[in-house]
Amino acid sequence: MASYKYFLVIFAAVSIVVLVLPRTAYSIPFVVFHGISDNCKNKGITQFTTLLSNWSGSQGQCVEIGNGAWDSWTMPFFKQTALACEKVKSMSELSGGYNIVGLSQGNLVGRGVIEFCDGGPPVRNLISLAGPHAGIASIPLCKSAWFCIAVDLLIELAVYSDYIQEHLAPTNYIKIPTDLDGYKNGCKFLPVLNNEFHKNSTYKKRFSSLENLVLIKFENDEVLVPKETSWFGYFPEGSWDPILPAQETALYKEDWIGLKTLDEAGKVKFINVSGGHLEVSYGEMKDYILPYLLENITSQPRLSELSHPSAWFAHKGKTLKLYASD
């Protein structure tokens, strides 16, 4: 009897060592989904991804959807997220879990992967820079050129028509606060992603399972209207003011996708930084992105730059512009 117990103890000890050992050398990789008009090969994105990868010692890569810039404008979001889903499923290095860093509209691709990707690898943290999570109310292509006026007019007339929805990707997350009927009946992506009219508990369960949701808002963002959408804030129903903080929206109060659940568990970090759209400094990357890439890493990260203060300070003030970064 005694020797049987002894055997059990040894067996348990061996099992623990066998189960735990491989994990200790394991670092969690991350993927980047870029914003509109951008491309994984552009300098800004490459530098951003390489820096985060170098600092964290974890494998990071930008995942391209279609051909990059053109498809980011024209491919409907369900197709973008389906392609992204297939890609992350095919990347065996992600199978033990990974983090997503979303840039602007790339956040909606990231959330699409989290919520819709059946059988996809588990997502640990979503680090969101300037994500149009609650929608946007206009496409600020540029300030005054005739092209923009024409596109704006077209959008105003037909933003929720099937044709525009299928050919101009950003219209998939335009939410005109004074045309909510049009939005409800015509907008093809955001209402589903936000569990707005038809609730799917699977989407909520998957989104609520994030370990951290880091929402970075850029104080001088002139691209997102309103910029508060980066924190899930938005216009009230039927009106252009005042802009509601996330906690006062129905999405939060009725907990459509689990934002409230995550927040109450202390898992949502609302961060504001001072730059324009996707203008992030090395210091902010170190303070607000890096910690979530380092989480769970037990092998020694290659903090070469961070561990040499002089090299670090030379870069501290540097800023990356990740909007149309070519």
User: Residues with catalytic annotation?
Assistant: 104, 221, 277
Residue 55 CB, nearest distance to ligand NAG (Å)? 8
Q: Among 273, 278, 289, 322, which residue sits at the site for ligand NAG (rule: CB under 6 A)?
A: 273
Query: In angstroms, rounded to a whole number, what is the distance separating the alpha carbons of residues 2 and 316?
Result: 63
200 binds ligand NAG (CB under 6 A): yes
211 binds ligand NAG (CB under 6 A): yes
Which residues have CB under 8 Å from 243's CB, separation 6+?
Answer: 226, 228, 233, 234, 235
Q: Point out which span in 44-52, 57-65, 150-158, 181-189 binds ligand NAG (CB under 6 A).
A: 44-52
Contact between residue 247 and residue 162 where contact means Cβ atoms under 8 Å apart: no
In terms of CB distance, is 64 or 221 closer to ligand NAG?
Answer: 221
**What's the count of helices (H) and strands (E) in the chain, helices before strands?**
15, 8
Q: List the end-to-end C-alpha distance of the chain, in Å, as a whole number.
A: 72
Residue 98 CB, nearest distance to ligand NAG (Å)? 11
Residue 238 CB, nearest distance to ligand NAG (Å)? 27
Query: In angstroms, rounded to a whole number, what is the distance separating the alpha carbons of residues 96 and 122?
Result: 7
Which class for 153: exposed (0-12), middle (13-18), buried (19 or more C-beta within 10 A)?
A: exposed
Contact between residue 152 and residue 139 where contact means Cβ atoms under 8 Å apart: yes
50 binds ligand NAG (CB under 6 A): yes
Residue 115 CB, nearest distance to ligand NAG (Å)? 8
**Angle separating helix axes 106-116 and 77-90, nearest 10 degrees:** 70
In terms of CB distance, is 161 or 200 closer to ligand NAG?
Answer: 200
59 binds ligand NAG (CB under 6 A): no
Strand order in the sheet with 268-273: 60-62, 30-33, 98-103, 123-129, 212-218, 268-273
**Residue environment code for 279-295, b if the CB has 16+ CB neighbours within 10 A, otherwise e:** bbbbbbbbebbbebbbe
Residue 34 CB, nearest distance to ligand NAG (Å)? 17
Q: Among 31, 45, 51, 169, which residue sits at the site for ligand NAG (rule: CB under 6 A)?
A: 51
Q: In DSSP terms, which residues pair with 321 in a beta bridge? A: 279
Site string for ligand NAG, 124-163 (x = CB under 6 A): ----------------------------------------
In terms of CB distance, is 178 or 309 closer to ligand NAG?
Answer: 309
123 binds ligand NAG (CB under 6 A): no
Residue 138 CB, nearest distance to ligand NAG (Å)? 23
- Residue 116: its H or E element: helix 106-116
220 binds ligand NAG (CB under 6 A): no
Contacting ligand NAG within 286-325 (CB under 6 A): 295-296
Contact between residue 114 and residue 205 where contact means Cβ atoms under 8 Å apart: no
Q: Residue numbers of the site for ligand NAG (CB under 6 A)?
A: 47, 50-51, 54, 116, 118, 200, 202, 211, 219, 272-274, 295-296
